[in-house]
Amino acid sequence: MSVGFYATLAGDRLDQSKRNYRAAHSWHMRAEELEQQLRDTEWRYERLELINEQTQQANQKLVQENESWKRHANELRQKVVAWQRSAIQGEAISRAKTVVVEEHTGGKAPIDMVGEERFSEIIEGEKLKVMEEWGINPWESNGT
């Protein structure tokens, strides 16, 4: 075998070696790229887990607050019912008193006995007492 043959063979092997190096380098670069994508994906996954946990905590807080508001609304409903019952009872007592007074005065209403002006003064005085007892004044700021 001649020197030319060995030189050609060495040249071919050098070319093959260079191709192998470039291929290995390309695969190495692709592997680094994939590792970076994996790290990015893991970071995104961890971030999503954190966001999911925060969302679940916020949802749980909202559920608790919702329950609190439901209890508060129920308490207000009960107060309204109690006030309605009290107002109805008060009106019934007032009407019963009117019937009793009319029966004992021969059909004369209290307004006829004391006069319209005095009767209006008595009503306003009683209204102030009731508002003080109940702790409300619906004529103030449109009842709000």
* pLDDT at res. 37: 95
- Closest of 89, 69, 120 to residue 97, by C-alpha: 89
**pLDDT at 143 (0 to 100):** 42
Q: Specify if 80 maps to a domain.
A: yes
Question: Would you call 97 exposed, middle or buried from its count of C-beta atoms within 10 A (0-12, 13-18, 19+)?
Answer: exposed
Q: For residue 123, is it left (φ>0), alpha (ψ between -120 and 50) or beta?
A: alpha
Task: Give residue 14's pLDDT.
Answer: 80
Longest dimension (CA), the chain: 152
* pLDDT at site 104: 80
Tell me how far CA of residue 140 lies from CA of 24, 83, 121, 131, 135, in angstroms. 87, 18, 19, 11, 12
Instruction: Identify which of 3, 2, 1, 21 has the alpha carbon closest to the alpha carbon of residue 13.
Output: 21
Number of domains in the chain: 1
Q: Is 72 part of any domain?
A: yes
Residue 74 belongs to domain spanning: 3-104
Residue 19 has, within 13 A of its CA and on its CB side, a CA count of 6
Token pair listed for 83: 């006030």
What residue type is 84 in one-letter code?
Q
Structural domain contains residue 114: no
Q: Is residue 17 part of a domain?
A: yes
Residue 14 lies in a domain: yes
**Structural domain contains residue 120:** no
Quick one: pLDDT at residue 141? Answer: 62
- In the numeric block, the tokens 């508060």 are attached to 72
What is residue 127's predicted lDDT score, i.e. its pLDDT? Answer: 83
- The answer to whether residue 110 is domain-embedded is no
pLDDT digit string (tens) for the chain, length 144 residues: 677 776 777 778 888 888 888 999 999 999 999 999 999 999 999 999 999 999 999 999 999 999 999 999 999 988 888 888 888 888 888 878 877 787 787 777 777 777 888 888 888 888 888 888 878 777 776 544
**pTM flag (> 0.85):** no
pLDDT at 105 (0 to 100): 79
